[in-house]
Structure 1
Amino acid sequence: MRDSIDFGIDLGTTNSAIAVVHDGEAQVIKNNDGWEYTPSAVWIPREGVTNVGRSARDRLHREMDNVHAEFKQEMGLEGAVRTFRKSGISLTPPQLSAEVLKSLRADAASRFGEPPRAAVITVPAAFRLHENNATSLAAELAGFGACPLVQEPTAAAFAYGFQNESADACWMVFDFGGGTFDAAVVSTHDGELRVLDHEGDPHLGGKLIDWAIVERVLAPAVAREFGLTDFTRDNPAWRLNFYRLKWAAEEAKISLSRNEKAVLYAEIDLGDGDTETFEYTLHRDEADRVAEPYYLRAINLCRAALSKANLHTGDIDRLLLVGGATLAPGLRERLADPVAGMGIELDHIQDPTTVVARGAAVFASTVPLAMPKVRPAAGEFSADLRYPLKTSLLTASVVGRVESAPPQDMTRFAIQLDNPDGMPPFRSAKVPLDAQGNFLVDVKLAEKTASTFTLLLVNDSGGTEKITPRSVKITHWPQEPGGQVLTNSIGLAEADRKFAPILRKGSRLPAKERATFYTTAALHRTDTTTFIKIPIVEGEQPVADRNLQVGLIEIWPKDVRIDLPQGSEVEVTIEVDESRRVTVVADVPLVDEQFEAEIDLTNVRARDTDDLERELTEVRRRIDELRDSAGRTGFRPALDKLDQIDGEQRVVLAETAVRAARSDAGSAAAADQRLRELQAELDGVEADVELPALREELDALIKRCRQLVDRLGNADDRTEFDEIARRASLARTADEIEAVLERAADLQTMLMKREGTFDIGLFFYFKENQHRMTSPARARALIGEGDRAIATEDFDALIGINQQLRQLWPADLQEPSAGVSSQRNGRGW
């Protein structure tokens, strides 16, 4: 009987595979076709008949209304369904994925006589919470029990590191799959294999290269040869033709991994009832030119992962190639180039199409299989045991608790672990049980093999009792998997739209962190329209709405016993377990109440095409304006970033995804992410363009602070000013300058209050913006009172007038429902 999960599944966009650790070796399980992988395609010709794999894939370009593939890109999207026309059946992406998993599970059952109860399933490192959640749902629908998820590049590293004796090495995993790309920096140190950092794109894969070949090479050739007008992918009239061309492009691309050219054929429906055979000779260099922006994007993500890990290419021993796309000679040549690529030694000793499944199985062999608790039969004993299934150490601890039926005095017994076949043989000392039956025994392991220890329960007469289980097996291996990490940061969207991460990307799971925030507006129990809103956000971008909102906490007046003043503390705790289940709790100490976030991972929808096209237009406009601004200022870093966006053809890729979104929810999700990323990068360019103006603003503020300190400051003020001036001299980025600006503004405000001029400045700010007030008439009256107070030097009255003007400040500028800020006084005041 297995005591570990042992089975690993690579649930891929194009192909899927299942592997198992058996007799100390990670082995891929072949399907009924004798293949080591199963195409991720489902064909339902009629109700009650479901075909998965090769037979489905071969039908895709002939019966596209009854066959579906590449649904992984739509995992976790609400409303995404695929309909099988003949049967009338509609399935969601998790349900389609479950059919693939059922097929793999049946292959394992065919080999071992029974289906596995659980498996470790891989997901792209760039998958977000809702996509991981959908994968877990697919496993449940397929009949598996609890299935741990592991990132694809991590699994690949496990396969390479399995029984690898390198004591101290650093690798990079280059995982270019059918629909996703991941780059991970992995280290093996002190017997532990762990991921240092990663970058990825869940919408960058080989299928995009296939479609690019179709749209940029084959479709124009078809249109010319047969005189077809409006022959584009988004034209429903030509949908079947484009699927046939996609099939032909994929087959030709695979052939080009071995040959310099490939002849492809596709049957083209001319729209008038006639069909013609289209023939085209695709050359390897032609396909490489089309694939160039995708290769460049992947390489730049590798460089970003290295940079975040504070490493250089010279620090990496090997580049581990994973995924079918890495079989392309053009990509391998590019990666080996130290200038155009990575210049790291390529390692392709593992089959890139099945390495992820084998690595998942390696990890699965370290995960205990959930077992029902054994109750002892009458007159017998049972032990509840905890011990590592795999370890890089040569000693291990076995912890347990012994129970008997009926209960007995456990202090009469001792535990002994015996391995007479070990190299060398081992027998532990007799360890007495405590009154509750607890014990801890240390055992010695044989190197690079499994050690099986017989569990001996010795009574006070020296005899042994019958106990279940009878034995313990622990395997020594050189590189022990370092566990799961969080792949995207999780935190809050603050009132000023900034993202405040609480649990950061790379945190070892399970993980739990707490941070303190402050309300940006008062919450009055008599005001039923105002509430505190705390959005929970997942991502890495500094602007919150460039990330993905996954949850929300709302605190309404009816939820609190007393009024909450502005600046009230809110302690937010985020916890993520090993299965990536997220819990978020906000604690408000003033009212001693807790509020739990509603985390709804089933309500993520693809944006509609009109919205995507509007944002694409906005991106184009921003790029043009920023290039003009950067050109006028001559600020080279901003121009370099814009050149990189152009070089990767990021806007072209976004345009392609937006066009495809008209008929494909997965492409809509890809377009949404690409546009969010572009907007975030343009935010950075905009900050760079504004850098000279920010520097001027900082210099002017420091000058004013110096004058105030010279006139009003004490020793502490001078120390603070000197520190601000020092930080200003070192600040280089917009964020660094803004941080110093904020600190200098605080010093200026404090000194102006001491001088009595702060309220005058605040009053004039309100006066200049009185047209924005919620009640202009009331604002005009208060402005008149303020002018009179200044004329008569009645500054106490001016303070009260400012307080009343603040109450007229519109909600959209100081939003009372925006929730919290990391600063006690919020942003803007």
Structure 2
Amino acid sequence: MRDTIDFGIDLGTTNSAISVAEGDTVRAIKNSLGQDTTPSAVWIPKPGIVMVGSRARERVEIDPDNAAAEFKLEMGLADAGRTFAKAGTRLTPPQLSAEVLKALRADAAMYLNTDAPTAAVITVPAAFSLNQNKATVEAATLAGFAAGSPLVQEPTAAAFAYGFHDTDDRAYWMVFDFGGGTFDAAVVSKRDGDLRVLNHAGDSYLGGKLIDWALVDKVLAPAAAQAVGVREFSREDRTWARNFARLKAAAEDAKIALSRAESVPVMVEIDSGSGDTELLEYTLTRGELDRVAEPYYVRAMNLCREAMRDSGLAPDAIDKLLLVGGVTLSPGLRELLSDPARGLGIELDTRLDPSTVVARGAAVFASTVRHPAPASAAPAAGGFAVQLSYEPSVTTITPTVAGRLRAGQDHDWTGYSVVLANPEGRPPYRSANIALNRVGAFATEVVIDERRTSRFTIELFDPTGAPRKLNPNTLSITHRDVEFGGARLTHSLGIQLADRTFSPLLRKGVGVPTKVKEKFRTSHALQRRDDEALIRIPVVQGERARADRNRQVGMLEIRPLDLRIDLPAGTEVAVTFEVDASNLVTVVADVELIQAQFEAEIDLDSITTPSADVLQQDLSVAERRLEAARAADDLPAVRDRLERLEAEKTLQTTREQVRAAATDAGAAATAEDRLRDLHAQLDEIEELAELPQRTRELLDLLAEASELVTRTGAARDEQELTELQNQAQRAIDDQNLTAVQAQIDRTNQFMIRLEQRQPGWQVGLFYALVEQPGLLPATREVDNLVREGHQAIGAGDERTLERVVQQLIRLLPRDEQDKVFGLIKP
């Protein structure tokens, strides 16, 4: 068995690939057709027959009832699946992906003439959410890979592939990974042999598939409708499903061909619906492709700018743009990327094949990961085993190897020793005898060859010097010039608070595995006698300040049945998040008052495809909000945001995906993601539109407060006012509406406290309450309190008047109470 995993798999939307790292080389594994990539397509023509790859891809066009492709976009959706009519079966996206992984395993066994690999590093888009990652792990398990086969983000893998070949000592790179279904950008730092990803940005639903469908919807479908003489010819009409499958395949083939030609002929047989067929003949030009694809290119570049901005880097600080994914073969995209005015203006690096670079990088990473150890029984009586501890990939030539011996029964290790030998080393290496301690443990430095894999045998000797059989008795360590930084969290993780704000516990970009614990307080009491009572803490993934603009991925629930005592409001709850190296999450809530823990229901198996009707309703809301936002486009900040939405054709793309949602689960998932992002951007636009008015309100309040302090304030009031002015200026400079509103509230409270110290404050508040028509309820209690208040004013009794005012406030409607109490609290 291999010491390290060594195999890397790019499980792609359109194509998949597998590579293997062997010593100081990495090579792509060819499939049975001699190709480096295998189409991610499955064809089941009858029960018991499953075909994967090129033949299956061809059948998607001519036999769509029994073939499936592009199911990666549906990973993590519980209700998604593809039905195979002739076989009478339905497979989920993880099951379909498992068939692709099985085919890649078989290719590796045939190509290398060995047993199929039992573990592999599998790549996922950096923008994948928890449910999508979990579905990928499920697919790996179904395909026969061992538990513990890790996931790694696709742009990270691509960076490893380039780092494996690159000789630069210090550089910044940007990975531009535009695949068939997803887009990822990553900022990479290489410094003194250390290669690590600094930041990610991406879109799980931005890929070549969108460009293909845009070509169909905007160019080929209108031409086809004219060719067969029909008006209602649209993708959402299932009558035309076969026609659209053929058009989609033709669009994809033409897009690929336009990487090498200025124009290509497109010929598709179109069924008219009456049994006749017409041949669509159309010449598609590269210019048409570029015009259709430009909004998607623009969105990808904006995501790159976002990743650079969050890393504190400008484009001129990036040394190279590493192109990854089939879409980057487009000359139009490359020309746009190189343009410093319209694009990114970063030097393009195209040394590695963009179709296999992710699998190659995954293999490089796999060569640094110990192979998952099988569950091993204790050695038989008289036998010996060793549990080793060492790094399989290092940048030093004198790494440490440690181990602990085990025997089939209690054993005295006195006098035993081991020797580590590498007879093929340059020069050959053999350690001195290393004595075991009383528990059978040892640790030693060994010498390895530079830039090679050194393979050691471990020899065990008993006190007489006789050799004893040991299992395992080999290990390998590879020396590299570059150390590959570990995986990073690709989305912030936290909880939704009672006011719907997002409280992140783990920030995007932190290294994983990791663990964090924070304390919160419950917003209401929980009584054991109330069977319906429930404390629910949503677990949220994303970057938006408003929690419901992120993705809810789980729910912490505390019920009365779980409690031994009642929990009062404000009970402290400690929430612990733990994330493993594959970005899979465990959440635990600890209620110290009752010494109990509650594990979060990270229910990733019930996330479903949104219905077309719900998506249409949400789209209508977004359209109304966008129309209202356009009324404020005279503000530069608002105009800039609106121009970005227009450049990316955000609304147009969202409409197209909503229309296709009824017949395409991937389109429904894309539409839901687009709508969530659109609403979040509209939130920001509305805040920017409101900011000038709120800023003027804050400045007016501060001016009024300054006059009040000058007239009546003490030295401590002047100090507090200065601090308020400083905080207000920071909020205004940051253009943060929430912070500006908070400063308005603080300034109001400051002024109220000043007024409260002035003579006649309680009198003024009393008359404000009693003279406003309809504010107080018409009750005898109110009449008595009003009478008592007048008497207190006449007698100059301020204490009684204050009590009367407080009681009157409590008789107000709840929303009015909150307003008044908010003003008068000290």
- TM-score strictly above 0.5: yes
593-602 or 747-756, which deviates more = 747-756
Q: In structure 1, what is the equivalent of residue 120 of structure 2?
A: 119
Q: In structure 2, what is the equivalent of residue 249 of structure 1?
A: 251
What are the within-5 Å matches in structure 2 for residues 10-89 of structure 1?
Answer: 10-89=10-89
The 3 A distance-change label for structure 1 pair 149 and 260 is: same
Distance in 2 (CA, whole Å) between partners of 1:519 and 1:713 is: 39
Distance in 2 (CA, whole Å) between partners of 1:750 and 1:100 is: 69
Q: In structure 1, what is the equivalent of residue 373 of structure 2?
A: 371
Cα distance, 1:422 vs. partner? 3.2
One-letter code of the match for 1:136?
A: V
- Work out the number of aligned pairs and report it: 807
Q: In structure 1, what is the equivalent of residue 356 of structure 2?
A: 354
Distance in 2 (CA, whole Å) between partners of 1:572 and 1:597 is: 10
Structure 2 unpaired stretches of 5+: 793-799
Structure 1 unpaired stretches of 5+: 815-824
Q: In structure 2, what is the equivalent of residue 216 of structure 1?
A: 218
What are the within-5 Å matches in structure 2 for residues 209-608 of structure 1?
Answer: 209-372=211-374, 373=376, 375-428=378-431, 430-457=433-460, 459=462, 464-525=467-528, 527-608=530-611
Distance in 1 (CA, whole Å) between partners of 2:77 and 2:774 is: 45
Distance in 2 (CA, whole Å) between partners of 1:281 and 1:717 is: 77
Distance in 2 (CA, whole Å) between partners of 1:18 and 1:72 is: 17
671-680 or 355-364, which deviates more = 355-364
Distance in 2 (CA, whole Å) between partners of 1:707 and 1:434 is: 80
Cα distance, 1:788 vs. partner? 5.6
The 3 A distance-change label for structure 1 pair 569 and 709 is: farther
Per-residue Cα deviation, 1:463-512 (whole angstroms, up to 9, x for no partner): 65443332331101112221111111111111111111111111111111
Distance in 1 (CA, whole Å) between partners of 2:171 and 2:536 is: 47
Q: State which of 170, 173, 176 in structure 2 corresponds to 1:174.
A: 176
One-letter code of the match for 2:643?
A: D
What are the within-5 Å matches in structure 2 for residues 430-829 of structure 1?
Answer: 430-457=433-460, 459=462, 464-525=467-528, 527-628=530-631, 630-631=632-633, 634-703=634-703, 705-706=705-706, 718-731=718-731, 732=733, 733=735, 734-741=737-744, 743-744=746-747, 747=750, 787=786, 791=790, 792=792, 793-799=800-806, 802=809
Per-residue Cα deviation, 1:64-87 (whole angstroms, up to 9, x for no partner): 111111111111112112111222
One-letter code of the match for 1:294?
A: Y
Cα distance, 1:434 vs. partner? 2.7
Cα distance, 1:139 vs. partner? 1.0
Distance in 1 (CA, whole Å) between partners of 2:429 and 2:479 is: 15
Provide the secondary structure at the position in 1 that maps to 2:128.
coil
Cα distance, 1:444 vs. partner? 2.8
158-167 or 673-682, which deviates more = 158-167
Per-residue Cα deviation, 1:509-566 (whole angstroms, up to 9, x for no partner): 1111122222233444455554332111111111111111111122344544444443
Cα distance, 1:596 vs. partner? 2.2
Cα distance, 1:408 vs. partner? 3.1
Q: In structure 1, what is the equivalent of residue 796 of structure 2?
A: none
Task: Work out whether residues 214 and 245 of structure 1, in 8 Å CA contact, stay in contact via their aligned partners in 2.
Answer: yes
Cα distance, 1:160 vs. partner? 1.0
711-720 or 541-550, which deviates more = 711-720
Distance in 2 (CA, whole Å) between partners of 1:783 and 1:583 is: 55
Distance in 1 (CA, whole Å) between partners of 2:342 and 2:68 is: 37
Q: In structure 1, what is the equivalent of residue 106 of structure 2?
A: 106
One-letter code of the match for 2:499?
A: D
Per-residue Cα deviation, 1:238-284 (whole angstroms, up to 9, x for no partner): 22111111111111111110011100100011111111111000011
Q: CA RMSD in A?
A: 3.0
Provide the secondary structure at the position in 1 that maps to 2:516.
strand
The 3 A distance-change label for structure 1 pair 738 and 135 is: same
Provide the secondary structure at the position in 1 that maps to 2:61.
coil
The 3 A distance-change label for structure 1 pair 318 and 48 is: same
Provide the secondary structure at the position in 1 that maps to 2:699.
helix
Distance in 1 (CA, whole Å) between partners of 2:569 and 2:757 is: 23
Task: Work out whether residues 269 and 279 of structure 2, in 8 Å CA contact, stay in contact via their aligned partners in 1.
Answer: yes
Per-residue Cα deviation, 1:784-810 (whole angstroms, up to 9, x for no partner): 67656654453235445656768x569
Cα distance, 1:413 vs. partner? 3.2
Cα distance, 1:361 vs. partner? 1.1
Cα distance, 1:586 vs. partner? 2.1
Per-residue Cα deviation, 1:674-725 (whole angstroms, up to 9, x for no partner): 0100110111111111111221232244345546666786655543332221
Provide the secondary structure at the position in 2 that maps to 1:512.
strand
Cα distance, 1:647 vs. partner? 1.2
Provide the secondary structure at the position in 2 that maps to 1:598.
coil
Cα distance, 1:391 vs. partner? 1.3
Cα distance, 1:568 vs. partner? 3.2
**TM-score, structure 1 normalization:** 0.91
Distance in 2 (CA, whole Å) between partners of 1:575 and 1:283 is: 51
One-letter code of the match for 1:695?
A: T
Cα distance, 1:584 vs. partner? 1.4
Distance in 1 (CA, whole Å) between partners of 2:54 and 2:202 is: 29
Distance in 2 (CA, whole Å) between partners of 1:197 and 1:81 is: 33
Distance in 2 (CA, whole Å) between partners of 1:786 and 1:305 is: 62
398-407 or 755-764, which deviates more = 755-764
Distance in 2 (CA, whole Å) between partners of 1:690 and 1:620 is: 19
Distance in 2 (CA, whole Å) between partners of 1:591 and 1:517 is: 15
One-letter code of the match for 1:729?
A: Q
Provide the secondary structure at the position in 1 that maps to 2:662.
coil
What are the within-5 Å matches in structure 2 for residues 153-164 of structure 1?
Answer: 153-164=155-166
